[in-house]
Structure 1
């Protein structure tokens, strides 16, 4: 199991001893998914919090009309999970699907208390991760209210340049809350301005 990227990420927040790293390795799982496979399906309980070692994922929900709404995208060194379902062990509102062959390091819910008891500093680490995620979600909501579609696209393009080349345009449009046709129009407009 290749957990070096995860350990590098954790070290940005807390220092782990060799003993703690060994214990952590014993309590994590590694899973590879093929492009198109689901990590989580709407209605299922999220049993893991996952760190992306390799690959790309989308987190989305499907409304009553069958319309897909992309809530989050994930690439290497990002976390993917339905945090509400994971923490409360309740049915998920979201699907998590792999857009590429993907490798994840997973923290199983049923081992988290043991991990926190043996390595208390990881509780602080996960608090920091959740705080960052909440702050990012709040900023995204504000952008969705205050920026027009073109400004949202330009912000996305600037903030996540490596994602745009990896996913279909209709998913970017869904993430931005616009149609793929409108996204094409925005991109044409930007190209003409440039």
Structure 2
């Protein structure tokens, strides 16, 4: 459901978190291009086969990007905390059909801007172009950092990383989705979790 009267101060705060010195008049020009929609728990922001035409910000939900392999198994690509800029960057950049699904775990307002308007802002305003570059850099650096960490650490170390930096995920994200992200079995993750809870109880 589109909410035309939503509070767009959230967009300003999120953009300024990437670029605090953003010209406020130019920022306002771009903010007016954003659309606000409601997303319920389990709703999809993007589905496989669709062309991604927007970038999104979920105000109050963890989001998940995943694909389904040839065996019908869902594989988590990334999990992002609320208030993060999200999209399928490959589909968004190439305008080819997406190979992944992006969904919300919690009810949330979704703030988004379409590619055409965003490209126009990039072309017209240096601040918006720099903002776009900063968003892309952060996404890929974080993606690579977490992938390397999860690849070279043990399963127990990966769980400790999750508990230290993304503890909220343990309350919101189903265990099988977390296990897929950590690249271990759900049974193994459940065993580690029980061991950690037991240790804390002693």
TM-score (norm 1): 0.92
Q: 1:79 aligns with which of 81, 85, 91?
A: 85
Aligned to 2:27: 21
Cα distance, 1:18 vs. partner?
Answer: 4.5
Determine the C-alpha separation between the residues in 1 that align with 2:14 and 2:119: 21
Pairing partner for 2:16 from 8, 11, 36: 11
Preserved CA contact (<8 Å) 1:170 1:180: yes
Count of residue pairs brought into register by the alignment:
194
Task: Note the alpha carbon deviations across 1:111-132, whole angstroms, 9 max, x for none.
Answer: 1222123322111111111111
Residue 64 of structure 1 is matched in structure 2 by 70
Match of 1:165 among 139, 158, 171: 171
> 1:75 Cα shift?
3.0
Q: Which runs of 4+ in 1 moved over 6 A?
A: none
Q: Which residue of 1 is the match for residue 136 of structure 2?
A: 130
Deviation at 1:14, TM superposition (A): 4.1
Check the 8 A contact 1:51/1:104 in 2, yes or no. yes
Secondary structure at 2:51 match in 1: coil
Aligned-partner Cα distance in 1 for 2:62–2:131? 23
- Are positions 1:114 and 2:105 aligned together? no
Q: Indicate conservation of the 8 Å contact 2:11/2:31, yes or no.
A: no
Higher mean Cα deviation, 111-120 or 173-182?
A: 111-120
Deviation at 1:76, TM superposition (A): 2.1
The alignment yields a C-alpha RMSD, in angstroms, of 1.6
Structure 1 segments unaligned to the other structure (5+ residues):
none
Residue segments in structure 2 that go unaligned for 5+ positions in a row: 1-5
Q: Is the 8 A contact 1:55 1:76 kept in 2?
A: yes
C-alpha change, 1:16 and 1:139, in structure 2 (3 Å) is: closer
Q: TM-score of the superposition, structure 2-length normalised? A: 0.88
Provide the secondary structure at the position in 1 that maps to 2:106.
coil
